[in-house]
Amino acid sequence: SKFTKIESHLILDIISELGDGIDVDWLEIATKLNEKLYPSRQHRRTPWQCFKHYQSTLKKTALPWSSDEDELFIKYLAAHGPQFLLQGDGLAQTNGKLFPHRNPNKVSIRTYTTLLNPNYVHDWWTKDEERKLALLMRAYSESDGTLPLKYASQAAHFPRRAQALVSVKWSRSICPEMQQKKCGDKLRHDETEKGGAC
């Protein structure tokens, strides 16, 4: 039968508890899972079922980050600095020590595209930053035209801003298409009431 969310979380918890996401004893994992969820011998999971579920589902699709994981990650980033993950095997060390059951790419994405990084600022954008983003978008659009926002929002250009927030800033307040749409909506609204221009 299909694995439940509770079973999936528990398997990952047990793997984390054992301290290694690669070389694990699947018999021990299945035993612990069955002891916690199925004390009576009905519907027990075999080591092969646990292994197959982990390889086919859990390893590929990341489960939501818990508040405990986020707290641990923030403290770790504050202590070592997010740049640590870019130095040599920093990402591998972080992944192995803190999140052995998570994909290293997901850990990297969690650092650089979310608000978890303690070095990110969340205050108002300056005119210079807005101008820089507009120029970067223009430059990347004219160069090859593929995913300009992805390149313009990289940490190299805005090291103190979360990549996700750079994208939001562009799409909600700077993007010329959005400005034209807002202007058109306002003009139609003004004309309906008393006339006017954007």
Q: State what percent of residues in the chain have pLDDT above 90.
A: 1
Residues 34 and 119 sit within 8 Å (Cβ to Cβ): no
Output the six-digit token pair for 36.
Answer: 């916690």
Distances from the Cα of 4 to the Cα of 10, 39, 55, 140, angstroms: 10, 17, 15, 44
Enumerate residues 6+ apart whose C-beta is below 8 A from 79.
Answer: none
**C-alpha closest to that of 107 among 136, 85, 130, 89:** 85
pLDDT score of 54 more than 50: yes
Write down the pTM of the prediction. 0.41
Residues 122 and 135 sit within 8 Å (Cβ to Cβ): no
What mean pLDDT comes out for the span 125-154?
Answer: 78
Output the six-digit token pair for 159.
Answer: 């090291």
